[in-house]
Amino acid sequence: MQVFKIEPTIPYSYGAAIVAARDSEEAIKVHCSTDFGEWEYNYYECTCNIIVGLDYETNRPMLIF
């Protein structure tokens, strides 16, 4: 699977989530699968970008880190 980085964009916010998924929509869905993840994604105005050249061996989408 491809690997995506979900990262906040508002000032003074740090960190990132790493997600294995087939596409960016699926990565966002995995990240937002909990109430906190959904709140965090919206509140911090996160972006979801593919990490080129990085793959994760799994059969199902998952939150890596």
pLDDT band at 53 (very low <50, low <70, confident <90, very high): very high
Q: From CA 4, how far away is CA 26, in angstroms rounded?
A: 10
Q: Which of 31, 56, 50, 51 is nearest to 42 (CA)?
A: 31
- Cα end-to-end distance, the chain, whole Å: 15
Residues 6-45 have pLDDT tens digits of 999 999 998 999 999 999 999 999 999 999 999 999 999 9
